[in-house]
């Protein structure tokens, strides 16, 4: 059966649309909104029903914990226990693409489903005026995973959200392309050693410089704790992905970085700039995910700064696929 394309409302982020979106959220509805990283699928983080609706809309296979978004740093204090390390990182990187996993505060209003029953909660203050206006207007923290079906490439444009979720979302606020283009860095501060659960928009080196200590990288230590959402195959386009490609094989689309062969289909950053490459990554994977190619071949990306997060997403896109 061919699914009937569902209508979806895409609105410019004018005050009237933000007010209407906030009202939808207060009544348990879901609204997709722009952040500096990727578009989020937002719901009231304090309402179990709204949080359950987020999992259902994404077809998440299990209840992975969600990030809770606030409009002002001080609002995090009612949700989680903020220690000195967290306070220093918030002062330096908030608003911005850094998510902190902290112990749940006593009397935290956040739904237990949002944190998947864990005694920690991930909090973030996005660096985007529309996101902050929406959270403030809703008057409550918003749980928001990336606004795509589970396992797919994260959306960096309103049109990506519409393609992926259709009418599963009540409204999409269109803030144009996301500036960073990769999800936030997730840092676990619930234990004695700060632990990098997901590389993202803030480079680990920058965090280490503020904390004055090295982060634990679970990716390099199989025994270390992991973010429950870090499934091996994730962020996957429909086509197979081949990494560290130096040239294009027959049928492939070559996704270049830096100086590129003439037959490259797209270039993440001709200048070899990692920030530019991060911002272009997901939109490029989507653009090349076409039936006239057999695979997407990606040129090597240096494993420094934002390159860590870019390579993390690319390795997941290239990982053996889970059964559907």
Q: Which is nearer to ligand TXA, 123 or 260 (CB)?
A: 123
183 touches ligand TXA by CB under 6 A = yes
- Provide the minimum distance between the beta carbon of 30 and ligand TXA in the complex, in angstroms, as a whole number: 13
CA 129/CA 34 separation, integer angstroms: 9
Closest-by-Cβ residue to Mg ion is 146
Q: Which is nearer to ligand TXA, 174 or 252 (CB)?
A: 174
Binding residue (CB under 6 A) for ligand TXA from 111, 156, 164, 184? 184
38 touches ligand TXA by CB under 6 A = yes
Question: By CB under 6 A, what part of segment 71-130 binds ligand TXA?
Answer: 97, 99, 101, 115, 118, 120-122, 124, 126
Give yes or no for a cis peptide into 95 (omega within 30° of 0). yes
Instruction: Identify which range of 13-21, 31-39, 74-82, 270-278 contacts ligand TXA by CB under 6 A.
Output: 31-39
- Provide the minimum distance between the beta carbon of 69 and ligand TXA in the complex, in angstroms, as a whole number: 6
- Bridge partner residues of 104 (DSSP): 80
User: Which among ligand TXA, Mg ion, none contacts residue 64 (Cβ within 5 to 8 A by kind)?
Assistant: ligand TXA
Place of tokens 């993440």: 268
Q: Which is nearer to ligand TXA, 132 or 198 (CB)?
A: 198
Instruction: Identify which range of 47-55, 76-84, 141-149, 172-180 contacts Mg ion by CB under 5 A.
Output: 141-149
CA 97/CA 84 separation, integer angstroms: 19
Residue 208, phi-psi category: left (phi > 0), alpha (psi -120 to 50), beta (remainder): alpha
CA 307/CA 321 separation, integer angstroms: 23
164 touches Mg ion by CB under 5 A = no
233 touches ligand TXA by CB under 6 A = no
146 touches Mg ion by CB under 5 A = yes
- Provide the minimum distance between the beta carbon of 64 and ligand TXA in the complex, in angstroms, as a whole number: 5
Distance of CA 263 to the CA centre of its chain: 31
- Provide the minimum distance between the beta carbon of 14 and ligand TXA in the complex, in angstroms, as a whole number: 21
Tokens of 66: 């969600």
- Provide the minimum distance between the beta carbon of 25 and Mg ion in the complex, in angstroms, as a whole number: 20
User: Which among ligand TXA, Mg ion, none contacts residue 66 (Cβ within 5 to 8 A by kind)?
Assistant: ligand TXA
Q: How many residues bind ligand TXA (CB under 6 A)?
A: 30
**Binding interface with Mg ion (CB under 5 A):** 146
Which residues sit at the interface with ligand TXA, rule CB under 6 A?
35, 37-38, 40, 64-67, 97, 99, 101, 115, 118, 120-122, 124, 126, 144-146, 183-184, 186, 197-198, 227-230
């Amino acid at each position: 059966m061919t699914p009937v394309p569902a209508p979806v409302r895409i609105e410019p982020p004018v005050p009237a649309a933000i007010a209407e979106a906030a009202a939808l959220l207060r009544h348990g509805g879901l609204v997709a909104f722009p952040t500096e990283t990727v578009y989020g699928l937002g719901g009231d983080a304090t309402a179990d029903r709204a949080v359950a609706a987020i999992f259902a809309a994404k077809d998440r296979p299990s209840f992975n914990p969600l990030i809770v978004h606030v409009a002002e740093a001080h609002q995090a204090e009612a949700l989680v226990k903020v220690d000195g390390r967290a306070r220093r990182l918030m002062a330096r990187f908030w608003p911005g693409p850094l998510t902190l996993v902290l112990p749940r505060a006593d009397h935290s209003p956040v739904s237990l489903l949002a944190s998947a029953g864990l005694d920690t909660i991930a909090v973030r203050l996005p660096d985007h005026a529309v996101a902050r206006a929406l959270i403030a207007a809703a008057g409550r923290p918003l749980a928001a995973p990336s606004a795509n079906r589970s396992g797919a490439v994260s959306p960096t444009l309103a049109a990506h959200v519409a393609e992926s979720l259709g009418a599963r979302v009540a409204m999409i606020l269109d803030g144009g392309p996301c500036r960073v283009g990769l999800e936030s860095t997730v840092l676990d501060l619930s234990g004695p050693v700060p632990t990098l659960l997901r590389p993202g928009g803030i480079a680990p080196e920058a965090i280490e410089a503020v904390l004055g200590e090295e982060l634990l990288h679970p990716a390099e230590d199989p025994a270390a704790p992991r973010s429950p959402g870090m499934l091996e195959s994730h962020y996957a386009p429909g086509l197979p992905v081949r990494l560290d490609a130096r040239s294009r094989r027959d049928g492939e689309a070559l996704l270049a970085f830096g100086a590129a062969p003439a037959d490259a289909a797209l270039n993440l950053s001709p200048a070899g700039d990692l920030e530019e490459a991060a911002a272009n990554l997901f939109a490029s994977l989507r653009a090349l995910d076409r039936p006239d190619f057999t695979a997407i071949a990606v040129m090597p990306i240096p494993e420094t700064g934002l390159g860590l997060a870019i390579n993390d997403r690319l390795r997941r896109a290239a990982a053996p696929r889970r059964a559907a």
